[in-house]
Amino acid sequence: MDEQAISPITYNILKKLIRFSVLIIFVLFTCTGVRAQLVVSGNLTPEQLVTQILVGGGIQVSNVTSQGNNFMRGSFSNGHATNLGLDEGVVLSSGNTHQVPNVASYQASTGYSLPGDPTLNTISLGTTHDASILEFDFIPTADTLNFRYVFGSEEYPEYVGTQFNDAFAFFVNGPKPNGLGQYVDYNIALIPGTNLPVTINNVNAGSYSQYYVNNNGGTTIVFDGFTTVLTATLVVIPCQQYHIKLVVADVADYIYDSGVFLEANSFSSTGPSTNLGYSNSSIWFGGAVEACNDAQLTFELDELRMEDYYIVRQQTLGTAELDVDYGLSPADDTLWIPAGSLSVTLNMFPYSDDLIEGTETAEFIFEFAEGCDPTADTTTIDIFDNTTSIPYFGLQNEFCRNNAPVVLSGTPPGGVFSGPGMVADTFYPSLANNGLNEIYYTAFYIDENLFGTDTICINDVMNEVWVYGNPDIFAGPDAIIAEGQTHTPGASADNYEFIEWTTSGTGTFSDNSIETPVYTPSMADISAGSVTLYLYGEAHNPCEGDSTDAMLLSIVSGTTALAGEDDAICEGMQYQLYGNALFYTSLEWTGSGDG
C-alpha cells in the first residue's frame, strides 16, 4: 500500500501505528547494544552553527535567523565512522535530528505540525510542512562560493515518484556578476551538470543513480537512502552582500523525516582550498607524530591560472617552535603555485626529542590576495609525542635452561615480543637457543580512528639474554698423523664454564683446558696406532649440565701408499688411476707393461 492510495486520515493513523511499533523495535535494539556511530549535538544556537561550524574561509556572516524548533537542527561529528561521506558539520531535519544516528531499520518519523516554506513549494511541486531553515547574509571575498552536502530521507525508496517528494534547497539572493541582474531565490542545490533540483523524485535508484546511496541495512545512518557528497557552487561578485536560505521540509505530510548534512567549514569563498593530510595516518588521526608522521598541507586552486600564484606564511605561532620542534619544506615564507599548476604542498616534519611533553601545536596564518581584500587562512597542526621512540622492557640477562618461564611487560604497552624462546609475552628458557639470544620488544603507534587500524610508527628495543644448558662441544674431525708428528684438534666449544681434554692413551696436551691445545702422542700411542681424544665441558655455574665429544687420532709409521682398487677395462680404453699416499716427499707411478 502506498501513500497515494489511502485517505489522509487513514494514512496518519497507520503512520502512528508504524511509528509506535518502530519505537518498540528501537527500544529492543537499544537494550541489546546496537549503537550508532554518528554523534549529533543540539547545544549550539543557530548563529553558532553557522559561524562556528558551517562557514570556512573568505566569508563574512551576519543576520543569522532560523525556522523550526531546536530538535530540527544541530551539529554532527564522527561521520568518518559511518558511510555518510562527511565527517562533521551542520544537520537540518524535518524531524528530530537526534534520531539520525540510528540503524536504517529504525523509522525516523516526527511530526511537529509546523509550517513549511513557500519558496520550497516551487521545488517540490507540493505543499511543504515542518520546514527547518537556517538563513543569513554573507559577503564573499572571492568570486566563487562552494560548500558540500548530503541529502537523505526516510521516504526512500518506497515513495519515490509519489507526491511525498520531500525536498530541500539552498536559495540565494544577490547580484549576478558581469551586470547580468540579480539572483532571486536561486537554488544552488542542483544535480551536477543539470538545472534539476536534488529531490527524492529526481535522485534515486532509477534516476541519476550515480548520486544515490541505497542505505537499506545500514547501521549508522537512519535514512533509508541518501545522496553521495555533492557540491553547491555559485559564481558571485567579491565583497558584495548576498542572502542564503538553507531549507529542508516534508512534502504533503508531516512524517517520514528528511534531512540535509552540510560539511563543516566548507561554506567558503577563498582562492585555494586547503587540505591537511598525514604521511602515515588517516586524516582522522588528527595530528603529526615526532619523527614518524609528517603533516602535509596542500593548497589547491579550483582552476588553472595563467600566472604564478603565491601564498604567504604571514605568522608562525603555537606552542611548538619552528626549527626546534619541527621543520618545514619548503622553508621559505612564500609558497608558489606555478602557472599551469593547481597545487602546492607544505610539508611539516616534527623532530624526535625522546621526551614526553604532551601535545604541542604549530599554527600558521597564510595570506593570499583574492577578491577585494587579502584573505587569511589559519591552520593548526597538533604534534603528538612519539612514545615508540623510547620503548623499554626489563629481562634478566642470564638463565639456566631449566628455569621457569618469565612473563614480560613492555613500555609503551601494546607492543609485541619476539625472539628465540618467546611465546606471546612469555620467555621460555627451555625453548631458547643455547647461549646468546636476542629478544626484541616492538612498539607500534596505532591510528584507530579509521575503519580497522593503521600502523603509523614502529620502533623496537633489543635485550641480550644468555641461556646456559649443556655446553656445545665438538672435539673436531678424526685425523691421521705420521709417527713423530703432533696434532692440534679442530675443536670448538660454546656455552661452558669449564672444559677439559683427556686421552685414551698416554700422550700429553700443551694445555688441556683450552679449545685447541697441541697433543703429542706417546710411544705407547704410536705402538697402538691410534688414540681417542675426549673434550668435556660443564655448564655455567649455577646451571647444571655437561657434554662430551671425541675424535680418533690415527698414527702411521713411515710413508704409506695405496694405488687403488683392482679393475678391468676393454681394449682401446683409457683408465683413470686413483691413489692415496701419506707422509711422502715425492710420488712416482710405474707399470709392469709398456703403457
| Dihedrals phi, psi of 12, to nearest 5 degrees | -65, -35
Q: Locate cell 681434554: which residue?
A: 501
> Which residues does residue 212 pair with via DSSP β-bridges, in sequence order?
227
Cα dihedral 220, 226, 228, 233, rounded to 10, equals -120
- When the candidates are 3.30.360.10, 3.30.420.10, 2.40.37.10, 2.60.40.2030, the CATH number that belongs to 273-385 is 2.60.40.2030
Q: State how far the Cα of 215 lies from the Cα of 224, in Å rounded to an integer.
A: 5
The pLDDT score that the predictor gives to residue 427 is 96
Nearest-angstrom CA–CA distance, 40 and 69: 15
Tell me the pLDDT tens digit for each residue of 141-165: 877 888 999 999 998 998 898 887 7
Pairing state between β 546-556 and 479-482: parallel
The CA distance from 491 to 548, in Å, is 12
User: Given this chain, do its domains 273-385 and 469-595 carry the same CATH topology?
Assistant: yes
Residue owning grid cell 692440534: 488
> Edge-to-edge strand order for the sheet containing 373-384?
288-289, 373-384, 360-370, 309-317, 334-337
Pairing of strands 546-556, 230-235: unpaired
Separation between Cα atoms, residue 485 and residue 350, nearest integer Å: 70
- How far apart, in whole angstroms, are the C-alpha atoms of residue 472 and residue 359? 52
Q: Distance from first CA to last CA of the chain, Å, rounded?
A: 115
Alpha-carbon distance 440 to 419, whole Å?
A: 6
C-alpha 56/C-alpha 243 separation (Å) is 16
Query: What is the per-residue pLDDT for 271?
Result: 66
Q: What is the pLDDT of residue 370?
A: 62
Locate 313 and state its grid cell. 606564511
Give the Cα separation of 388 and 526 in Å (integer). Answer: 67
Instruction: Give the Cα separation of 582 and 9 in Å (integer).
Output: 119
Q: How far, in Å, CA of 564 to CA of 550, rounded?
A: 30
How far is CA 587 from its chain centroid? 75
3-state DSSP of 364-387? EEEEEEECCEEEEEEEEEEEECCH
Q: What is the DSSP letter of 267?
A: B
Give the separation between CA 502 and CA 488, rounded to whole angstroms: 14
Q: Please state, in angstroms and rounded to a whole number, the distance separating the CA atoms of residues 236 and 186.
A: 12
Cβ neighbours for 558, distance < 8 A, ≥ 6 positions apart: 482, 483, 583
Peptide bond between residue 420 and the one before it cis (omega within 30 degrees of 0)? no
Relative to beta strand 343-350, strand 326-329 is antiparallel
Cell output for 233: 557552487
Task: Please compute Rg for the chain using Cα positions.
Answer: 42
Regions in the chain scoring below 50 on pLDDT: 1-36, 450-453
Q: Where do the domains of the chain lie?
A: 36-263, 273-385, 388-468, 469-595
| Burial degree of 405 (CB within 10 A; 0-12, 13-18, 19+) | middle
Give 469-595's CATH code, choosing from 2.60.40.10, 1.10.1660.10, 3.40.228.10, 3.40.50.2300: 2.60.40.10
- Owner of C-alpha cell 664454564: 497
Kindly state the DSSP code that residue 583 receives in the 8-state scheme: S
Report the number of secondary-structure helices (H) and strands (E) in the chain: 4, 41
Distant-in-sequence, close-in-space partners of 219: CB < 8 Å, separation ≥ 6: 34, 36, 103, 104
**DSSP secondary structure, 509-560, as one string:** ES-TTSSSPPEE--HHHHHHSEEEEEEEEEPPTTS--EEEEEEEEEEE-S-E
pLDDT score for 369: 63
Backbone angles phi, psi at 361, to 5 degrees: -130, 145
Report the C-alpha gap between 255 and 153 in whole angstroms: 11
- Contact at 8 Å (CB) between 49 and 226? no
Contact 433, 415 (CB under 8 A): no
Sheet holding 398-400, edge to edge: 398-400, 454-468, 435-447, 416-418
Q: How far apart are CA 334 and CA 594, in angstroms?
A: 99
| Cβ within 8 Å of residue 269, ≥6 positions away | 57, 58, 59, 140, 141, 142, 143, 144, 145, 146, 236, 238, 371
Which amino acid belongs to residue 389? S
Distance between CA 90 and CA 92 in Å, rounded?
Answer: 7
